[in-house]
Structure 1
Amino acid sequence: MSRDVRVAIFRPDDERLAEAEELLDSLGAEAVADPMLEVRPTGDAPDDGEYVILTSKTGVELAADAGWDPEGATVCAIGESTADALRDAGYEVDVVPDEYTSSGLVEVLADEVAGARVEVARSDHGSAVLTDGLAEAGADVHETVLYELVRPEGSGESAVLAAEGELAAATFTSSLTVAHFLDAAEERGIREDAIAGLNEAVVGAIGEPTRETAESEGIEVDVVPEVADFEKLACEVVETAAPTYHD
């Protein structure tokens, strides 16, 4: 497969971006690395709770760096990647929902959290589905913002390429990456052209919430993997964009 199959990736500029570039290279595609999220730690650590919920690998790493001790709490991870990060940091994981979403976690916990203090430690862009759902189940919900997610200065190369019809595919890994991509396009005065370009390309969304955000903005989504995992997303997107990549 020729390297003109350009796939935009929006992961933060750390090991996640490097791993994504390496993965796309192994699939025979050219990665257009355009980070749409920059992590800014707040310096806070998870508060005490009978249940403590972590929703990302980044949050786990920041909690561990802060010396967080669960002190007998029921530790909950929103998905397997977060659970793996917790285990790698030396924590035991008690709850991982079958559906790796806020609503999936609420469903698992709804029957047992009434009257319990539930600590949710995450970014400043966490979904209200989680906190509202737990509160409706009768939990005393407290939220700690471990980090802020901002759009990096200078981001938007992928929006320019999309507007010019030079992208074969794009991989959105959160609703916020969709919003920041569109903000970058708007900043350059090419929002509509960028959306039109994406709609001529293969667009992947890591899960249903991301798909819904993209489609609400007029972006047609072609790929949503069954499991919210970047490797699965990238493989399915490249396979859809260039079905012979593995030959």
Structure 2
Amino acid sequence: MDAEGDTPRIAVFRPDDERIDDAVALLESLGADPVPDPMLAVEPTGAIPADAPYVVLTSKTGVELAAEAGWEPGDATLVAIGPATADAARDAGWSVDVVPDEYTSAGLVAALEGRVDGERVEVARSDHGSDVLLDGLRAAGARVNETVLYRLTRPEDAGESAELAAAGALDAAAFTSSLTVAHFLDAAEERGIRDAALAGLNDAVVGAIGAPTAETAAEHGIDIDVVPDDAEFETLAEAVIEAVKGEESASDVDTRR
């Protein structure tokens, strides 16, 4: 907690652009003390989506890069992984035809598997996309092409949150992808504090934006306390803060006994 003892300190790992700014503003509005520690940097490849009857976009970043390059979906059925990606596509002037009920690679497969047998499907995304999407679409009979629009790397100065976790100075952390988990641990390893950072996380409330992120965390020894139903950062932030407050209340009760 902060010096006042009533404001939870929460690490957030969004890319160092408007997304980290928005995340900080949201957490502050919810009564938290954010620790912005971007774990992702975007390196565009210069590629654009290939033409296909179905084009799948899996991030707001991918939409923005494609739009900046002058790409247009034309007559393709445009598929967005979730509301943020869909909103970015509409902001670019495109019509979005499919948004899955579950905002994950598995959700995309479920939304498309009855429609793409024998069809060409273009998947345009980062270099760290899940094989679940490609394998699932191929199993559904699609002829799949993947185009890497950007690479995701770890910023050189990332790691403040790992130091705080190792010192027992974090109340919570909100992981927004499997790669943010890996980069957090890599930053801790470089500082020689991996075990202490893991222990600090496991004494805090840890949220993961979806099942794949939670599974990655678990594989690395991180106990996940919160996985929201919707894979959106706002939902994750609200759930993490609610969990922190719940732990505080339980602690207060225990203290009074």
TM-score normalised over the length of structure 2: 0.92
Is residue 2:135 matched to residue 1:157? no
How many angstroms does 1:242 deviate by? 2.6
Number of residue pairs matched by the alignment: 245
Specify the alignment match of 1:238 in structure 2.
Answer: 241
1:199 aligns with 2:202: yes
1:74 and 1:94 in contact (8 A); partners too = yes
- Does residue 97 in structure 1 map to residue 97 in structure 2? no
Distance in 2 of aligned mates of 1:46 and 1:173: 25
What letter matches 1:211 in structure 2?
A
1:166 aligned onto 2:169: yes
Pick closer, same or farther for the CA change 1:18–1:3 going to 2, 3 Å.
Answer: farther
Report deviation, 1:65.
0.5
2:201, 2:233 → 1: CA distance? 19
In the alignment, is the contact (CA less than 8 A) between 2:7 and 2:31 conserved in 1? no
Cα drift, residue 222 of structure 1: 0.6
Measured in 2, the distance between the counterparts of 1:73 and 1:139 equals 15
How far apart in 2 are the matches of 1:57 and 1:99? 16
- Looking at structure 1, the residues matched to 108 and 31 of structure 2 have their Cα atoms a distance apart, in angstroms, of 36
- Distance between the aligned counterparts of 1:226 and 1:206, measured in 2? 9
**Distance apart, 1:69 and its partner CA:** 1.3
Q: How far off its partner does 1:3 sit?
A: 6.0
Aligned-partner Cα distance in 2 for 1:2–1:85: 39
Q: 1-side partners of 2:6 and 2:120: how far apart?
A: 52
Distance 1:58 1:7 in 2: 24
Kindly state the Cα deviation for residue 54 of structure 1 after the two structures are TM-superposed: 0.2
Q: Which residue of 1 aligns with 2:231?
A: 228
The alpha-carbon deviation at position 183 of structure 1 amounts to 0.5
Deviation string for 1:115-155 (max 9, x for gaps)?
Answer: 11100000000001001111111111101100000000011
Deviation of 1:241 after TM superposition, in Å, equals 1.1
Residue in 2 aligned with 1:144?
147
Report if aligned partners of 1:78, 1:102 keep a CA contact under 8 Å in 2: yes
Question: Unpaired segments of 5 or more residues in structure 1?
Answer: none
**1:17-54, CA deviations, whole angstroms, 9 ceiling, x for partnerless residues?**
11111111112211111100000111111110010000
Give TM-score, length-normalised by structure 1.
0.96
Question: What is the match of residue 253 of structure 2?
Answer: none
Residue 129 (1) aligns with residue 132 (2): yes
1:1-247 maps to which residues of 2 (within 5 A)?
A: 2=5, 4-243=7-246
TM-superposed deviation, 1:63: 0.7
CA contact (8 A) 1:3 1:28 kept: no
Alpha-carbon distance in structure 2 between the residues aligned to 1:145 and 1:86: 18
RMSD between superposed Cα atoms in Å: 1.4
SS at match of 2:117: coil
Query: Alpha-carbon deviation of 1:4?
Result: 4.8
Gaps in structure 2 of 5+ consecutive residues: 250-257
